[in-house]
A and B are shown apart, each in its own frame.
Chain A
Amino acid sequence: MPLKFNNGSKIAGALLIVALLIGLIPGVIGCTEEESEAQFALHDPLVRFKIATTTSLYDTGLWYHLEPIFEELANVEMDIVYAGTGIALEYGRRGDVDAIIVHDRAREDVFIADGYGINRRNFGYNFFLIAGPPDDPAGITGSTAAEALKKLHDEGMKDADTVKFVSRGDDSGTHAKEKLIWREAGFDYEDVRNSGNWYVEAGKGMGPTLLMANEMQAYVLADISTFLAYNFKSDLSLEPIVDKDSIFLNVYAAIAINPETHPKAKIDIANQFINWLISPEVQEIIGTYGTAEYGRPLFFPIASCDMPGCPPVEDYTKPVPEYMK
């Protein structure tokens, strides 16, 4: 049988043969991952500044709007990782990002007390609401937040086909708020989440969870900004049912990663970023963002927050100091 050697085979084929021949010499085996480093060196001269941001600020498009402005100002390449508050805090604890944007005061305090974060500043707020099918099968119109959840629980237990509630179920700030309301309503959260088919854990960001609730014609706790943005974009068939309760206040915070815990964290850029967020010009952007499309702003500048639960004034007026080792 004659041996055939096809000429004109692909260059790839030739290269592979070379690789194969090299492989025949024993001792060349170095199965390390380091090689990929050299192959993919980042030639970008710009400094990369990484933040992990809560999903609502991303899903509403606010970051798309703010990102280029800060990139130009600070001459950095901003990398924005989409993460609910729970995972954003985890990225922060691990030192995988330089700053985080979150909205869960209780866990922020723990994060800072544990030495992972510094220079927290609040920079904006909005409100949560409970949205649901327009005919309100559970009859929660006019209730407080806690009463509403209690009713959803009771009606859902009776008939999970007509009353469902979709939870973020992802340890995000919104999820934390939901748990807080359950506690206020006198429930143990673990009991609630195991109580039946009416309670659906999405495990997704705010926007995706809204779309899921919309598909299922279920009730959902959402921040009003994401609700408005998605209602505009995807024409949700859900409507705000319960939206008047002081517990619905939702305050966003920026936190720099503590360089003493994570020496590689880019504290100077993080500080500049936080001061920029609370600066009058960005506060103005935050206070007007979305007005053109939705007829009302999606977020409010933090200084206009004057109800119980609002952060103290120095939490947003005092610029963060320069970092000194």
Chain B
Amino acid sequence: MTEIWHGLVKAVELIISFDPEVMQIAGRSLMIAVSSAVIGSVICIPIASFIHFNRFRGKRFLVSLIQTFYSVPTVAVGLFVFVFISSAGPLGGLGIVFTPPAIVVGQVILITPILLGLTISALSGVDRAILDTARSLGAGGRQMAVLVVKEARFAVVAAVIMGFGRAISELGISLMVGGNIRGFTRVITTAISLETSKGDIELAMALGIILIFIALVVNILMNRIQQR
């Protein structure tokens, strides 16, 4: 117990004293995960809208497939991205292996199913009565689409936050394609893993607390958005 208590005290000290290493790692994690969430949204929300607003064969199957990939293991994505962007791989020419952009690429792939799936759900969840009313008032196809999007916007934001949460809490991708390089690709999760394995429990705990704190903020945001 003393170790845990000691670790906690030290962790809080590291946080409130704005320990440069802790802050740098936390800041980097946020930067990378926010980038992933933004890029992922820019890519996925239009695709999700396209899927939702069009009828085509195999649509149900496609949606099921997307949902299946919600729980894709991060290490599997990490391995997949690594073999592609490694210098010997097909995208080796980009030279991004062991850099932050490599982590972003991996995280975008990781959260794509969640962003697609939840955005589709969000758009599908718009109250039919609203649509019927609008149609009866003479709204055209485009006006209807705009309406759906406006109605669903908070649920879509919730989807994006969900994707962000998955991105910031993943370990496998950051470790495998980022390389956990100090001062460059070391993020909260890889630092926790390394510091724990080094027996440096305090720093690991401080970072763990920050990660939980970020998760808490994200959840509060999500709740507030959904209560609207």
Binding site for A on B (CB under 8 A): 35, 38-39, 41-50, 53, 86-89, 92, 94-101, 104-105, 108-109, 127, 129-130, 133-134, 142, 145-147, 149-151, 153-154, 156-157, 160, 179-182, 184-185, 194, 197-200, 225, 228
How far apart sit A262 and B93, CA to CA, in the bound complex (Å)? Answer: 11
Q: Which residue of A lies closest to B93 (CB)?
A: A264
Q: For the complex, is A42 an interface residue (Cβ under 8 Å from B)? A: yes
Main secondary structure of the interface of B (DSSP, over half): helix
How far apart sit A36 and B101, CA to CA, in the bound complex (Å)? Answer: 6
Q: Which residues of A contact B154 (CB under 8 A)?
A: 9, 13
* 24 A/B residue pairs, CB under 8 Å, sorted by A: A1-B127, A3-B147, A3-B151, A10-B157, A13-B154, A19-B45, A23-B48, A23-B49, A24-B142, A30-B43, A31-B43, A33-B108, A35-B43, A36-B105, A36-B108, A64-B182, A79-B181, A80-B181, A81-B179, A82-B179, A82-B180, A96-B88, A96-B97, A207-B197
Q: Which residues of A contact B38 (CB under 8 A)?
A: 39
A23 x B181 contact (CB < 8 A): no
How far apart sit A10 and B97, CA to CA, in the bound complex (Å)? Answer: 35
B47 x A31 contact (CB < 8 A): yes
How far apart sit A33 and B53, CA to CA, in the bound complex (Å)? Answer: 24
**Interchain Cβ contacts within 8 Å, total number:** 143
B199 x A39 contact (CB < 8 A): no
Q: Which residues of A contact B145 (CB under 8 A)?
A: 24
Q: For the complex, is A106 an interface residue (Cβ under 8 Å from B)? A: no
A96 x B39 contact (CB < 8 A): no
A17 x B228 contact (CB < 8 A): no
Known contacts A35-B42, A59-B198; 12 additional CB pairs below 8 A are A16-B157, A19-B45, A31-B43, A36-B35, A80-B181, A81-B181, A82-B180, A93-B88, A94-B87, A96-B97, A205-B197, A233-B200
How far apart sit A10 and B134, CA to CA, in the bound complex (Å)? Answer: 25
Q: Which residues of A contact B179 (CB under 8 A)?
A: 79, 81-82
The verdict on A19 contacting B42 (CB below 8 Å), with A42-B99, A96-B98 known, is yes
